[in-house]
A and B are shown apart, each in its own frame.
Chain A
Amino acid sequence: MKPLHLIPDDVNVPFLKFRKIFYIVSLVMVLASVGMFFTKGLNFGIDFRGGILVEIKTNGPADINALRDNLGSLGLGDVSIQEFGEPDDVLIQLQRQDGEEEAQMAALAAVTKALGDDVTIRRSELVGPKVGSELKEAGVYSVVISLFLIMVYIWIRFEWQFAVASVAALLHDVLITIGFFVITGVQFDLATLAAVLTVAGYSINDTVVVFDRIREYLRKFRKMEIPDLLDLSINSTLSRTTMTSFTTLLALIALFVFGGEAIRGFTMALIFGIVIGTYSSICVASPLLVVLRLKRKIPEAEEGQEANA
């Protein structure tokens, strides 16, 4: 049996020829994401906003309307009630209560009391305003720090053009993944933030593989024009890029479908991010090297002669 090749061996797609189209597509997606982020905003979960979350299991299918009436009458502000995976599984979320930590405790006590003994409380979470803002801060720090460290690493291993291009691609992926959350309104909590950071790690991983090949070919094909060389590098790693993305997606899709409601948002972010990350490492990161005027390193001896002349 001949093994399956996802990408034919003699693949030769002129990616660089379409780079203007990719730039426009990416720019539109990034700008749209940033714009929506500032206008519509993320649907922050209680991790970052502070507030209360209670997951309950009811006897038989839940009567959402009755629950809404029951909890709405407590005067605790907006109560969001939704089915969570199963008809008898309900997720209740309360916005952060005015006042300090005690106010949150009182609200949680009121909710559990109002729910009564007919339902099983499967999970309850309370995040006070203090912790909420700290988690937000730590989240921003962790994104910034990991982007910075990754850039430093790439800079050490490659030339600066690679570092800039890879971080640009990385920012591209992170911003568009965040844009995905803004558009879909999927809740953004600690787990999804972790997913975004993983996307960052994954995306850079993909980019580095292509860059590695570019570096190798720069040494090997000394006469080739840079755009041709980039195309050749992308094409010869294309099979690997798609294979790895595909296997990772296979595993993630299994998790998305069967992993349970609690990590659905998390896996969704990963799946989306990996698709975007694959696109960016093929169509954005390498073409950017042309914009950044990647040159072959001129051997030092020659450079010295030029300086003397």
Chain B
Amino acid sequence: MLYFTKWKAALVLLVCALGVIYAAPNFLPSGTFPTESSYLPGKQINLGLDLRGGSHMLLEVDTDSVLRERYDALADAIRTELRQEQIRNRPREATENGAEITILRPEDVEKAREIARTAEPNTELSGEGNNIVVTYNEVAYRELIDRAIAQSLEVVRRRVDELGTTEPSIQRQGENRIVVQVPGLDDPSRLRAILGRTAKMNFHLVNNEKTAADARATGLPPGTMILPSADEGDGIREYLIDRRIVVSGDNLVDSQPTFSDGRPVVSFRFDAAGGARFGDITSKNSGRGLAIVLDGEVISAPRINEPILGGNGIITGQFSVQEANDLSLLLRAGALPAPMQILEERSVGPGLGQDSVEAGEFAAVLGLVFVIAFMVISYGRFGIYADIALMMNLILVLAVMSVLQATLTLPGIAGIVLTVGMAVDANVLIFERIREERRNGRSIINSIDAGYRSAMSTILDANITTLIAALVLFSFGSGPIKGFAVTLAIGIITSMFSAIWLTRLLIATWVKRSRPTELVI
């Protein structure tokens, strides 16, 4: 066992050399190497947000509202067809559970069901008595949700890109969640402000028959609704507006913050179709109020004084400069298909991240020094070999993490420190075994041989059980904990190489060269 074939020895040395080469960029200033290639050395370890500073946000897309909207539209479409067939019916409130319609005359139900069945492909018909319920089947449902999430991802990406930070990461998680990670962001409230809003903007005409207060008292005129004002600075709390959207925010092509009369305002520009409709509406409704509605609130409702024909306009309101910036950003990036909720937010300032890295590094180095010293005290020459293997193990962990572009987190540093303690375990097992074999009167070479051989299965069993715990942690943990599991798992695997093969090569070389007659261990 102590005999190494040339190619085996070469293989061990090659792995070590590769480890050094791939780990090296981490000790040099970043940018020393080009990093385009995915396999060549040059990449540094990815620092987690808790170490480099930044914001992590977990958002949930309200898919129910997407469904509600779609079922509402589907019910409308079916009702249009029913009307054409003179089937009297009544709509029910839109829910996420399906498009529901009540048929008023029992003799129409059969025909109505037939119409509803064929209204749209990939739907299923249910409902009892004179109620008709149309729901999407699994395929259509999935497609609907997937499209909503894809659109949301796109809008989120555009919004986050506007912040101008480097390498933001935006990913779908599970069915309806989105994880946003923005490294190096100082102010998470900014991110919150631009991700927490749907930014659905529409133009509605203000109703000129009644005020909102009158309507509350005497009932809403048909086709109208009451919406709150975004700010109550101008004394108006609510507006009575027409339900019909005259121009939709989907027609916006650009928006910029600017100033009008020294106050921050937001300018916008429509595409050709939107511009034409806007011109048309403003020509025909001179004197009426035009409500600008953002996410169900009226930002402002200026009176139309003259036709606006160029497709350009400005939105005035009680904006601060920051708010005007954010609103124009949101309008440029487009509306989300559905509202999003922030489920989780974690932000770390760059100062704390730097402190954590320094504290972690210091602790790791100190722990390493302790362990190295202790190994030499305990095992003499063999301790030095174990220490070389330990250093090599650390280098290999760094190298593997650099190649895999694994993320190093604060608990990850703890994982490395823990591996330092545990990596020597294999050597302790082997050396203790060699001591025993020597006590039992075996020769030097036999003892070493037996030590390695009998410790082998123990090392495997012991490491595999720890590896199981690490893998479970990896699959269930989130963020920083994953980082811990990664370093622990990598550390366990690399330590098996360094503690078994590297020390064996070192000891074999020593035995061969100096032919010891006494073994101090």
Contacts and interface: CB of A to CB of B under 8 A. Distances in A.
A4 interface: yes
A186 B469 CA distance: 23
Contacts of A153: 464-465, 468
Contacts of B60: 130
What does DSSP make chain B's interface, helix, strand, loop or mixed? helix
Nearest to A245: B421
Nearest to A205: B462
A179 B65 CA distance: 45
Interface in B331-379: 341-349, 351-352, 355-356, 359-360, 362-364, 366-368, 370-371, 374-375, 377-379
A128 B342 contact: yes
B466 interface: yes
Contact of B371 (A102, A109, A251): A251
B230 interface: no
B353 to A, nearest CB: 9
Contacts of B58: 131
A207 to B, nearest CB: 9
A130 to B, nearest CB: 6
Interface stretch (B290-298, B302-310, B472-480, B504-512): B472-480
A250 B344 contact: no
B413 to A, nearest CB: 8
Nearest to B59: A101
Contact of A255 (B367, B424, B463, B469): B367
Contact of A201 (B192, B457, B466): B466
User: Which one of A208, A209, A253, A254 has the greatest number of beta carbons of chain B within 10 Å?
Assistant: A254
Interface in A165-220: 190-191, 193-194, 197-198, 200-202, 204-206, 208-209, 212-213, 216
Given A190-B477, A247-B428, A260 B421 contact: no
Nearest to B425: A244
A112 B417 CA distance: 35
Given A105-B192, A122-B352, A190-B481, A130 B377 contact: no
Interface stretch (A235-243, A287-295, A297-305): A235-243
Nearest to B344: A131
Contact of B466 (A2, A202, A262): A202
A29 interface: no
Given A208-B461, A255-B414, A3 B468 contact: no
A250 B371 contact: yes
Given A205-B463, A258-B359, A251 B188 contact: no
Interface stretch (B89-97, B139-147, B432-440): B432-440
Nearest to B58: A131
Contacts, number: 235
A253 B378 CA distance: 19
B476 A142 contact: yes
B189 A270 contact: no
User: Which one of B374, B379, B436, B469 has the greatest number of beta carbons of chain A within 10 Å?
Assistant: B469
A259 B360 contact: yes
Contacts of A248: 418, 421-422, 425
A124 interface: yes
Interface string B441-465: 0000000000000100110011111
B439 A9 contact: yes
B375 A247 contact: yes
A125 B347 contact: yes
Nearest to B433: A240
B521 interface: yes
Contacts of B424: 244, 247
Nearest to B485: A194
A120 B417 CA distance: 30
Contacts of A270: 414, 418
A191 B422 contact: no
Nearest to A149: B468
Contact of A254 (B370, B378, B439, B454): B370
A105 B363 contact: no
B420 interface: yes
A92 interface: no
B189 A120 contact: no
A154 interface: yes
Contacts of A135: 478
Given A248-B422, A251-B417, A258-B366, A126 B465 contact: no
Interface size class of A (residues with CB under 8 A): 35 or more
Contacts of B351: 57, 120, 122
B429 A259 contact: no
Contacts of A125: 345-347
A249 B348 CA distance: 29
B399 interface: no
A3 B422 contact: no
B132 interface: no
A111 B463 CA distance: 46
A252 interface: yes
Interface in A136-158: 138-139, 141-142, 145-146, 149-150, 153-154, 157
A246 interface: yes
Contacts of B184: none
Nearest to B484: A194
B344 A202 contact: no
B221 interface: no
Given A101-B342, A259-B414, A208 B367 contact: no
A114 interface: no
A34 B201 CA distance: 56
Contacts of B485: 194
B196 interface: yes
Contacts of A260: 355-356, 359-360, 363, 410
A251 B370 contact: yes
A124 B188 contact: yes
Contacts of A236: 436
A142 B473 contact: yes
B311 interface: no
A94 interface: no
A1 interface: yes
A266 B473 contact: no
A27 interface: no
Nearest to A109: B189
A262 B410 contact: yes
Contacts of B352: 55, 122-123
Contacts of A97: none
Nearest to B362: A258
Nearest to B488: A198
Given A190-B481, A194-B473, A251-B370, 8 more contacts: A108-B345, A123-B348, A149-B472, A153-B468, A205-B425, A251-B420, A255-B367, A260-B355
Please name the 5 residue pairs, one residue from A and one from B, whose CB atoms are nearest each other, closest first. Answer: A248-B421, A201-B469, A251-B367, A260-B359, A254-B367
22 contacts: A3-B377, A3-B521, A105-B342, A108-B345, A122-B348, A123-B347, A126-B345, A142-B476, A150-B465, A197-B473, A198-B488, A201-B465, A202-B422, A204-B466, A205-B462, A251-B370, A255-B367, A255-B417, A259-B359, A259-B414, A260-B356, A262-B410
Interface of B: 50, 58, 60, 188-189, 192, 196, 341-349, 351-352, 355-356, 359-360, 362-364, 366-368, 370-371, 374-375, 377-380, 383, 410-411, 413-414, 417-418, 420-422, 424-425, 428-429, 432, 435-436, 439, 454, 457-458, 461-470, 472-473, 475-478, 480-481, 484-485, 488, 520-521
